[in-house]
Amino acid sequence: MSASTYIVTFKGDTPDEVIEEEIKKVEASGGTINHRYNAAIKGFSVEVPDDSVNSLSFGSPHINGVEADGEVTTQGKTLLRA
């Protein structure tokens, strides 16, 4: 079974409890948290089986963005992403 990875970021003033609640929702929908971001940004990386992607819902007003995780490039050069 294949899976996709996404990065979910939150607004800077988001309480930790809100992020934890979103993590619980993602895990209940079949997602696996790969990494939590607490320094420069608030958020997490989540791996979701492709057949479960449509069951995820990110409707919180605290969420700043959701984007597919992948290689980052600039002017044809690959930047390493941790």
- Provide the domain count of the chain: 1
User: Could you tell me the maximum CA-CA distance found in the chain, to the nearest angstrom?
Assistant: 40
Task: Determine the pLDDT at residue 81.
Answer: 58
pLDDT at position 23 over 70: yes
Which structure tokens are listed for 40? 């420069």
User: pLDDT-derived band of residue 29, with 50, 70 and 90 as boundaries?
Assistant: confident
**Its pTM surpasses 0.85:** no
Which residue segment(s) compose the domain that 67 sits in?
Answer: 3-79
The two beta strands, 42-49 and 3-10, are: antiparallel
Percent of the chain with pLDDT strictly greater than 70 = 82
CATH number at residue 53: 3.30.70.80
